Amino acid sequence: MNLSSDRPALLYHKVSPSWEVGVTRVSPPDFYRQMKRLAEAGWSTILPSEACPCGSRDRRITPSSPDQVQHTSDSDSSTKQFLLIFDDGYKCIYKYALPVLREFGFRATVFIPSAYLGKTNDWDHQLLGRRFDHLDRDMLLSLIKEGWEIGSHTVSHIDLLQAGREHQADEIFNSRLKLKELTGQEVNWISFPFCRYDRKILEIAINAGYSGGVIPVQHDSVTAPDGFCLLKADAVYRWDSGSSVNRLLERGNGYKLSGRLRSAANRLSYGTVLWKRLFSNANGRTPLAMSE
């Protein structure tokens, strides 16, 4: 059963003033303008567990096409809900994004690579030596108190499709266990690094206890197992403005074209995997001790 979601989603990575090579960083002033525009347009946030409740069966949430969307006025707030997602769990979202979201009454979900909690992003390429810090446990607990939801981004942010099935299971199971241990909260959602997944990976995720996954690119050839939600989120990039993110949520004219551009940008992220494969053994098996 393929259900269309009437709740769109935005996916961010970094909200930081620190310049880097890449397109996933959004400056704090731009982020503020984007959230202000959405708040003024009447949007409010909803969490994945609210959009697709745990324990639901045979549900697959995908974005509606522009022809399927019923456009509403800004005053119709009951239908203007969106999901706000942060991949990778960077410390900068605590410093720069959280105060903005608190101001506008927005909540978010952050996906954490559990082996890098409180560490730098050594899983990523270090072009020009730029490094970014990840959230630590105290910050996660603070975000939970703010009403945020915590999700898994596997243990070590590897390309799961390049790993054996046992390694895939370790990455998916152990991240959930570690984050639950650290936060005392259920971890029901997963985001697959580089949006690299197949049917077997989804089956491993549901066996590990996840209710669903958030993805920036829908692989139409991969169907979700019964009871597992796949929720599509549109990635936000450096070039986006307050108006453009509002158009993403409205899914009006130009949405399909914008989607192709964002899919192309997402494919560029695979350069990280290629870089690491060429210059290190970062995609090799990582120790998964629960005490890490």
Compute CA distances 20 → 27, 78, 124, 133, 169, whole Å: 11, 39, 12, 13, 33
| 3-state SS, residue 76 | coil
d(CA 174, CA 104): 35
List domains and CATH numbers for the chain: 3-279 (3.20.20.370)
Torsion over CA: 58, 54, 218, 277 (sign): negative
Per-residue burial over 103-135, b if 16 or more Cβ lie within 10 Å, else e, is eeebbbbbbbbbbbbeeebebbbeeeeeebebb
Give the DSSP letter of residue 9: E
Three-state secondary structure call for residue 71: coil
Structure tokens at 122: 């050594």
> From CA 38, how far away is CA 117, in angstroms rounded?
30
CA–CA gap between residue 53 and residue 229 (Å, rounded):
9
Say how far apart CA 158 and CA 174 lie, in whole Å: 14
Position 83, amino acid = L
Q: Per residue in 240-274, pLDDT tens? A: 999 999 999 998 887 877 777 777 766 665 555 55
- Tell me the pTM: 0.82
CA atoms within 13 A on the CB side of 74: 8
Q: Which residue has the tokens 């703010």?
A: 146
Which two structure tokens, joined as six digits, stand for 61? 């949430």
144: which 2 tokens? 């939970």
Choose from 50-54, 173-177, 226-230, 266-270 the range with maximum mean pLDDT: 173-177
Residue 81, sorted as left (phi over 0), alpha (psi -120 to 50) or beta, turns out to be: beta
- Interval 65-84 mean pLDDT: 55
* Mean per-residue pLDDT, 179-200: 95
Strands 44-45 vs 61-63: parallel, antiparallel or unpaired: unpaired
Residue 226 pLDDT > 80, yes or no? yes
pLDDT on residue 124: 76
Three-class SS of residue 47?
A: coil
Band of residue 76 on the pLDDT scale cut at 50, 70, 90: very low
Per residue in 96-145, pLDDT (tens digit) is 999 999 999 999 999 999 999 999 988 776 555 578 999 999 999 999 99
- Taking alpha carbons only, the member of 25, 184, 153, 179 closest to residue 87 is 153
| CA–CA separation, 51 and 97 (whole Å) | 22
Q: Per mean pLDDT, which range of 195-204, 229-238, 270-279 is the poorest?
A: 270-279
- What type of residue sits at position 49? S
* Helix segments in the chain, DSSP class H: 28-40, 48-51, 91-92, 98-104, 137-145, 165-183, 199-207, 242-250, 255-268, 271-279
